[in-house]
Amino acid sequence: MSQPLHRALGLTDDEAKRIDEILSRPANPLELAMYSVMWSEHCSYKSSRIHLKRLPTEAPWVIVGPGENAGVVDVGDGIAAAIRIESHNHPSAIEPYQGAATGVGGILRDIFTMGARPVALMDSLRFGPLDDPRSCWIAEGVVSGVSGYGNAVGVPTVGGEVVFDQTYMGNPLVNVLCLGLLPTERLVLGQASGVGNLAVLLGSSTGRDGIGGVSVLASAGFSEVDDGDKRPSVQVGDPFEEKRLIEACLQLLDENLVVGIQDLGGAGLTCATSETASRGGVGMDVDVSAVPRREPGMEPHEVMTSESQERMLAIVEPEGLERVLAICDRWEVSAAVIGRVTEGGALRIMDGFDGEVLADIPAVSLDDEAPLYERPRKSPQYPPGPSADDLELPVDAGVDLLNLLVDPSWVYSQYDHQLFLNTVVGPGDDATVLRLKHPTTGLDTGRGLALTTDGNHRWCTVDPRQGTALVVAEAVMNLACVGARPLAIVNCLNFGNPENPEVMWQLSEAVDGMSEACEAFGLPVVGGNVSLYNESAGSDIAPTPVIGLLGLVDRLNSRPPGARFFEGNHVALLGPEEVGLGGSLWGATNGAPGGEMPFADTAIHARVAALVRDLVLDDLVEGVHDLSAGGLGVALAEMTARSGVGVHVSRVVDHRALFGEGPSRVVVSVDPERMTEVLHRARGAAVSVTRIGLATGDRLIVKGLVDLSLAEIKSVFTGRLPEVLGSGTTNRQLDGQ
Amino acid sequence: MSGVVGVVVFPGSNCEMDCIESITQLGGEGRLLWHGDEDLCGVDAVIVPGGFAHGDYLRPGAIARFSPVMTEVSRFAADGGPVVGICNGFQVLTEAGLLPGALQKNDGLKFLCQPAILRVESSDSLLTSRAATGDRLSIPINHFEGNYTCDEETLMALRDEDRVILRYIDNPNGSVDNIAGVCNEGRNVVGLMPHPERACNELLGSSDGSVLLGSLLDLVT
């Protein structure tokens, strides 16, 4: 017995009933297909919208907040920055290369849709453990996909993060952030206006790839058996098409030829036509037969829901059409008039503009009238696992320390991170720093933009509210370490199945934690994305809100010092000494993910961040590193490995002080002659300073706990990923040389 | 009077503005040349920049060599005009037959974006006249297909005629004889995989690239 069509499309019985009420008649199959994609979790945020409203979104420098294709903030000198982050988790689990590649393509279109030239990408990646072959296969495919698409499309990938953990086995997280710049006056919005204007479809022809991707893939979890059937729902990317599309669209915008423009992403043409019409308060007639197709025999519902990549919908005035087509021709981008802006609010799908009406839907009902659910929430009954506070001093803390080291350069050396000559600090440091040049004149402002992405599923598992607040705090400190002050946040909320009340509780708590931290630091959230149903084999992932934080460096005269030591530097710890082992990397690695978590005192945190920012901008420190996963031990080891200079540290009493994690803590490495000034500044800022040691020699020595050689640290640090994932570098010499 | 350096733009090129920026910063003047035009607009030197010309479809440079502008670039080179191919541009010049050899996939079968230390092997070229043989330059690489290869006879000729311009100190991609850059017989066409335009500013990590681009500007000024 077959199920009713609406259920096969992922709509509930209640939702189908509601659709019939909106239309005052039974919906036909094409209309049902259109509602099913637009009312999917992925497009409608129906489970999360009610919570997202609690996030602060306003600040004087915010030009466009959440709800548009990207958030836009004023960064001065007539320049605006467009920023967005989006997940491509499920496609990447099924087909890692194309899943990640099309994630990059999609986020780029969101940015140039706003009139901005994309200038930087970041990737926040989370995979299953390194001893799981399938997770390694996914990791390699995803990194190749980002590399293959991002490099060829000509936008540098300037940073990100990579995490390996059991919780992401079978359900990796691939969150892609894009930053674009535009002259403030060029801002365009994804809306249609002007009755009689034309909707022109630019870019690739439409094929059967990605049919219903948002409802089939992104809005349901993975079972063990049927993943192969979902493969046709993954789209295929073509960076060369996208590159030409970017150049053509930016030229159209430069010449003022479009009144509105919208990318085609999830839910394809249905989404682009209904959203532009709905936002502009108009209707649209769409001639489905005019859509260029990749293959014969495609049904209207396939054309309307296909997620074929590299397509844009531009709303243009009829007088401008000829010029639009000429520009597209120059860039070898195909362009077809497929719609007309109409009065009223009806989205009509037709077989020829004078032909049969195949669907007739109030555009606004696909977009604004999507269902809104307040799903049940319940806090978990049990702690997340054994408490790390009960763990004893390890026999050899040095071995434990080595175990926590991972150098991500295997990942980012595969990304072009230098294109456009902006990258002052690239991937691998606390935060990325880009020169801020005017996007059309190229004029250097002498200032910089800073970017970081952060997430911590361990903290968020122990306490999603406090954990998320700590993630925001860490991002703020990352920016401080490169001399930047924070401006705006975008977020990607990666959670499990929303029908599980504990997952909804995690989501709600995380939103509250983010709100509280953003309020405390005066940060608006200018955009976001929610990815639910991250589960596999019936198990939800650990709650993983990821944030992207954009900041400004007010003076960019020299490169920030970075995480390193110089021989003879004095090493000091800024900020409080209190740490917790609950949710720490060391605890989780040793089978104890639970325990007491540190608490973020936002007032102290803001003071430490301001001090660190000043020390960096005034060139008073030679090395600086935010303490995060793995605590003081990992920070010292990373600084040692990066600089090739050892360090001798005392005053670290036990494993708790070595591996415990807490906010507002930064290691600085200081020229002895500057130490007095640093201490003076810290006193002035009411920040405590602990002098912990001296940078020297070629060993990392923590008195009574750790004694490792630089060579050993370096080999483990840099060797971990290439050893498992394959070397990217060889040093073959020609025989007989 | 300073000359003008033309920078060719194919669909898919992406380093053209970076080249123009660095040339301008070094006191030169750059001008974009569109791949579909059979006209070099009277420029005094030509750079074929990095990127993915025509999407690198088929193989890097294989389609770009048929773009109309390449006929003019070849004629310009035959007349002794200075031509430089950087990264994808080097690939295009080998496909177009203006330089010997070919660039195949890196040994490690991965894209590599990282700093590379180069040794200047000959100062007798339009890119190295400001350098001395033996100088070391830190200039980044950014490629998947940068593994230079050629037949034994060509390699002997390159060595004997002092046409290997730059070598990697620590060969990152498997290039034969550690070759990072070569020139043609007339010494007026140079190809290299590293990106000198990315190393013209200490703020970005290195200014060693200005030695190379500065040498080119000396020639056209």
- CA contacts within 13 A on the Cβ side of A137: 9
What helix, strand, coil percent values describe chain B, rounded to 5?
30, 30, 45
Cα diameter, chain B: 46
The residue from B95, B121, B145, B197 that is catalytic is B197
Question: CA–CA separation, A640 vs B205, rounded Å?
Answer: 20
CB-CB under 8 Å, A424 with B204: yes
CB A239 within 8 A of CB A152: yes
Set of chain B residues whose Cβ sits within 8 Å of the Cβ of A442: 17, 21
- B160 three-state secondary structure: helix
Question: CA–CA separation, B163 vs A16, rounded Å?
Answer: 73
A vs B, Cβ pairs < 8 A, gives 113
Asked whether the predicted pLDDT for residue A498 surpasses 90, the reply is: yes
Tokens coding A687: 């920040």
Tokens coding A325: 């087509």
The per-residue pLDDT for A726 is 82
Catalytic residue IDs of A: 42, 88
The residue from B19, B87, B150, B200 that is catalytic is B87
Query: CB under 8 Å to B58, separation ≥6 — which residues?
Result: none
Q: Which of B110, B117, B134, B111 is nearest to B171 (CA)?
A: B117
Mean pLDDT of A239-258: 94
The per-residue pLDDT for A96 is 95
Name the residue facing B56 among A152, A442, A556 (closest C-beta).
A152
Give the residue, A218 or A157, on which the prediction is more confident: A157
Distance from CA of A326 to the nearest CA of B (A): 14
The per-residue pLDDT for A381 is 83
Set of chain B residues whose Cβ sits within 8 Å of the Cβ of A243: 11-12, 14, 52, 55
Lowest-pLDDT range of A91-105, A379-393, A692-706:
A379-393
Domains of chain B: 4-220 (3.40.50.880)
CB-CB under 8 Å, B14 with A419: yes
Asked whether the predicted pLDDT for residue A214 surpasses 80, the reply is: no
Nearest CA in chain A to B22: A421
Query: CB under 8 Å to B78, separation ≥6 — which residues?
Result: none
The per-residue pLDDT for A192 is 82
**Cβ-based burial of B23 (10 A; exposed 0-12, middle 13-18, buried ≥19):** buried
Instruction: Identify each DSSP E strand in A260-386 by its residue range.
Output: 260-263, 283-287, 311-316, 335-342, 346-350, 357-362
- Report residue A1's pLDDT band, with 50, 70 and 90 as the boundaries: very low
* Probe site for chain A from B110, B119, B147, B210 (most A CB atoms < 10 A): B110
Lowest-pLDDT range of A262-266, A381-385, A686-690:
A381-385
Interface check for A326 against chain B (CB to CB < 8 A): the answer is no
Name the residue facing B18 among A240, A421, A733 (closest C-beta).
A421
Distance from CA of B77 to the nearest CA of A (A): 27
CB B67 within 8 A of CB B24: no
Tokens coding A243: 């590159």
∠ CA B147-B148-B154, rounded to 5°: 160
CB A515 within 8 A of CB A151: no
CB-CB under 8 Å, B110 with A728: yes
Set of chain B residues whose Cβ sits within 8 Å of the Cβ of A414: 110-113
CB-CB under 8 Å, B57 with A418: no
Query: CB under 8 Å to A88, separation ≥6 — which residues?
Result: A99, A100, A102, A103, A106, A174, A175, A176
CB A486 within 8 A of CB A551: yes
Whole-number Cα distances in Å, A45 to A31, A50, A599: 20, 9, 31
Set of chain B residues whose Cβ sits within 8 Å of the Cβ of A152: 12, 52, 55-56
Instruction: Identify each DSSP E strand in A394-495 by its residue range.
Output: 423-425, 432-437, 444-454, 485-494
The per-residue pLDDT for A235 is 76
CB B130 within 8 A of CB B175: no
Handedness of CA B104, B106, B111, B112 (dihedral sign): negative
- Report residue A733's pLDDT band, with 50, 70 and 90 as the boundaries: very low
Asked whether the predicted pLDDT for residue A560 surpasses 80, the reply is: yes
Write the ipTM: 0.96
| Range 142-201 of A in CB contact (< 8 A) with B | 147-148, 151-152, 154
**Is position B41 annotated as part of the catalytic site?**
no
Residue type (1 letter), B21: E
Set of chain B residues whose Cβ sits within 8 Å of the Cβ of A435: 203
CB A202 within 8 A of CB A333: yes
CB A695 within 8 A of CB A706: no
Lowest-pLDDT range of A209-218, A421-430, A540-549, B169-178:
A209-218
| Range 75-94 of A in CB contact (< 8 A) with B | none
- Report residue A230's pLDDT band, with 50, 70 and 90 as the boundaries: low
Please identify every stretch of chain B with a pLDDT value under 70, giving residue numbers as ranges.
1-2
Considering chain A, what is the average pLDDT of its residues? Answer: 92
- The string of pLDDT tens digits covering residues A563-614 is 999 999 999 999 998 899 999 999 999 999 999 998 889 999 999 999 999 9
Question: CA–CA separation, A586 vs A387, rounded Å?
Answer: 12
Name the residue facing A732 among B18, B22, B171 (closest C-beta).
B171
Question: CA–CA separation, A701 vs A693, rounded Å?
Answer: 10
* Probe site for chain B from A147, A328, A419, A440 (most B CB atoms < 10 A): A419
Question: CA–CA separation, B9 vs B130, rounded Å?
Answer: 27
The per-residue pLDDT for A728 is 46
CB-CB under 8 Å, B113 with A415: yes
Give the residue, A389 or A216, on which the prediction is more confident: A389
CB-CB under 8 Å, A418 with B198: yes
Query: CB under 8 Å to A30, separation ≥6 — which residues?
Result: A300, A301, A304, A349, A358, A359
Nearest CA in chain B to A238: B55
Question: CA–CA separation, A614 vs A668, rounded Å?
Answer: 13
Q: Which of A303, A302, A305, A336 is nearest to A202 (CA)?
A: A336
The per-residue pLDDT for B2 is 62
Set of chain A residues whose Cβ sits within 8 Å of the Cβ of B107: 730, 732
Distance from CA of A424 to the nearest CA of B (A): 5
Interface check for A24 against chain B (CB to CB < 8 A): the answer is no
Distance from CA of A138 to the nearest CA of B (A): 16
Whole-number Cα distances in Å, A200 to A258, A261, A424, A516: 10, 9, 39, 43
Question: CA–CA separation, A671 vs B47, rounded Å?
Answer: 44
Asked whether the predicted pLDDT for residue A660 surpasses 80, the reply is: yes
CB-CB under 8 Å, A435 with B113: no
Q: Name beta bridge partners: A387.
A: A594
Distance from CA of B131 to the nearest CA of A (A): 23
- The string of pLDDT tens digits covering residues A602-640 is 999 999 999 999 999 999 999 999 999 999 999 999 999
Give the residue, A224 or A440, on which the prediction is more confident: A440
∠ CA B127-B133-B135, rounded to 5°: 85
* Probe site for chain A from B21, B109, B111, B201 (most A CB atoms < 10 A): B111
Name the residue facing A154 among B14, B113, B144 (closest C-beta).
B14
Nearest CA in chain A to B140: A418
Mean pLDDT of A298-312: 92
Query: CB under 8 Å to A690, separation ≥6 — which residues?
Result: A572, A573, A577, A651
* Probe site for chain A from B13, B121, B155, B203 (most A CB atoms < 10 A): B203
CB A219 within 8 A of CB A230: no
CB B14 within 8 A of CB A154: yes
Interface check for A728 against chain B (CB to CB < 8 A): the answer is yes
CB-CB under 8 Å, B52 with A418: no
CB-CB under 8 Å, B142 with A421: no
The per-residue pLDDT for A225 is 41
Asked whether the predicted pLDDT for residue A403 surpasses 90, the reply is: yes
Distance from CA of B215 to the nearest CA of A (A): 20
- One DSSP character per residue, A468-518 reads HHHHHHHHHHHHHTTT-EEEEEEEEEE-S-TTSHHHHHHHHHHHHHHHHHH
What angle separates helix A133-153 from helix A239-254, to the nearest 10 degrees? Answer: 40
Question: CA–CA separation, A608 vs A663, rounded Å?
Answer: 10
Summary count for chain B: helices (H), strands (E): 5, 11
Question: CA–CA separation, A151 vs A240, rounded Å?
Answer: 10
- Report residue A246's pLDDT band, with 50, 70 and 90 as the boundaries: very high
Strand B45-48 and strand B4-9: the pairing is parallel
- Report residue A727's pLDDT band, with 50, 70 and 90 as the boundaries: low
- A265 three-state secondary structure: coil
Strand order of the sheet with strand A444-454?
A: A423-425, A432-437, A444-454, A544-553, A485-494, A525-531
Tokens coding B8: 């060719």
Name the residue facing B52 among A147, A240, A731 (closest C-beta).
A240
The per-residue pLDDT for A8 is 87
Residue type (1 letter), A498: P
Phi, psi angle pair for A493, to nearest 5°: -95, 100
Mean pLDDT of A373-395: 90
Name the residue facing B172 among A417, A420, A729 (closest C-beta).
A729
- The 3 state secondary structure assigned to A117-162 is EEEEEEEEEEECCCCCHHHHHHHHHHHHHHHHHHHHHCCCEEEEEE
- Report residue A218's pLDDT band, with 50, 70 and 90 as the boundaries: low
Distance from CA of B161 to the nearest CA of A (A): 18
Q: Which of A427, A411, A517 is nearest to A474 (CA)?
A: A517
Mean pLDDT of A113-119: 94
- Report residue A232's pLDDT band, with 50, 70 and 90 as the boundaries: low
CB-CB under 8 Å, B140 with A421: no
Asked whether the predicted pLDDT for residue A229 surpasses 90, the reply is: no
